[in-house]
Amino acid sequence: NAGVTQTPKFQVLKTGQSMTLQCAQDMNHNSMYWYRQDPGMGLRLIYYSASEGTTDKGEVPNGYNVSRLNKREFSLRLESAAPSQTSVYFCASSEWLQETQYFGPGTRLLVL
């Protein structure tokens, strides 16, 4: 049972480059999330999708876009990467918004 999978696991970008982080879940969950985690800052919500077909901004959406491709997949795109976006990115899913969240293993991104 894979749960939540994320690709890639590691990525190095140059300032200004773009990339898409992929996330998929096989638990038939309705809600999906993207967080970033930085030292001393905890988990900060970037975007979330309460259900298929909807997306909403979280606490720190600037510089990011998301796509809820279908019920399983929720991608995060950085159009023009900046060093401030160096972080560990976690995707999570839950049956509904208030329920237990299941996290992926994370993507470690370094922007030079």
Partner 1 sequence: TQLLEQSPQFLSIQEGENLTVYCNSSSVFSSLQWYRQEPGEGPVLLVTVVTGGEVKKLKRLTFQFGDARKDSSLHITAAQPGDTGLYLCAGVRGNNRLAFGKGNQVVVIP
Q: Which residues bind partner 1 (CB under 8 A)?
A: 4, 40-43, 45, 48, 90, 92, 96-98, 100-106
Nearer to partner 1, 82 or 97 (CB): 97
Q: In angstroms, rounded to a whole number, what is the distance separating the alpha carbons of residues 3 and 19?
A: 23
In angstroms, what is the minimal distance from the CB of 21 to partner 1? Answer: 14
Cβ proximity of 2 and 102 under 8 Å: no
Nearer to partner 1, 59 or 79 (CB): 59
In angstroms, what is the minimal distance from the CB of 73 to partner 1? Answer: 17
Select from 69, 72, 79, 76 the least CA-distant residue to 106: 76
Nearer to partner 1, 17 or 72 (CB): 72
- Strand, helix or coil for residue 84: helix
Nearer to partner 1, 17 or 55 (CB): 55
- Helix, strand, coil % over all residues of the chain, rounded to 5: 5, 55, 45
In angstroms, what is the minimal distance from the CB of 51 to partner 1? Answer: 12
Residue 27: count other Cβ atoms within 10 Å of its Cβ. Answer: 14
In angstroms, what is the minimal distance from the CB of 65 to partner 1? Answer: 20
